[in-house]
Structure 1
Amino acid sequence: IQAGWSIDGPILVEVPPINRNLSYWYVGIGVSYNISSLYKSNKSLSKSRAATQTALDQLEAARENVSLGVRADYVRYMEAYEELKTQQKSVELAEKNYRTTSTRYSEGMALITDMLDAANSKLDAEQMLVNARINIIYYYYKLLFTSGRI
């Protein structure tokens, strides 16, 4: 929508020039449309559709990665429990070996080096048991983090 007022000076296209000033008011409605947008809109729509599809694909890939991460952490968490059972059995066997070696040493049937080896094996087994317990806690919290609970 347009509205305006204009004043023009003398009319110079006439011979001799007419020395008159013209004043006029005008009101109008204008409509403009860029014809090239007919061709550009299809391209922009197809670009938008492609961008939307790409975003949906990325979202699906992110969901799948999170799902795989949670599953992998759950498997590691369950493996940590199996490792704990194994280490408990290892400690039990190391203690049995230590008692046997200690008995033999006290009877003079074993050397001090055998006794030291049995003690070191027992300490290593106990340390690995503590590490297995720590791994259970670690993988539990890692599972919570990966699943988004913490």
Structure 2
Amino acid sequence: MDVKICLSKVYKAEKVELSEDRLSAGSCKGYRMVRTTRGVSEGAWYYEIKVVKLGETGHTRLGWSTEKGDLQAPVGYDGNSFGYRDVDGSKVHKALRENYGEEGYVEGDVIGFYINLPEGSLYMPKPVQLVWYKGQRYVCAPDAKEDPPKVVPGELIVLRYLFFR
């Protein structure tokens, strides 16, 4: 079964605008995030993005995010996402930059993103607990203290440059 994966109309910052086919996104209101309609929890996955238009002053961060990544911030801002900057080619996680590429990317470049997540079921969040009360179903509130994202042994995130200048 083929499932079309595109950019989500729901899981995006309000200021992010999507193309009609939901394969392109843009914003002129600062760094914001949009996720896709499907996520991954295990296995090896790869996708490519072509940078079509940045304009004179535009910039992007591209990468991977969990469902808990802050949509009102750029990818890589918190511990729930990993970003790659166009400016200098650095990778970003928890808002900390680290040298990665020799240079950033520009309009026309195609960037590949690879992730390898082993045996995801061992690290998946616990399913929500439902209870019946007076004929209605309710979700039990999770513990007040939320566990930080787990480091998965063997996980790997790789960026691949496909420069077509």
TM tier relative to shorter chain? under 0.3
Bigger relative contact order (CA 8 A; separation at least 6)? 1
**TM-score, with structure 2 as normaliser:** 0.14
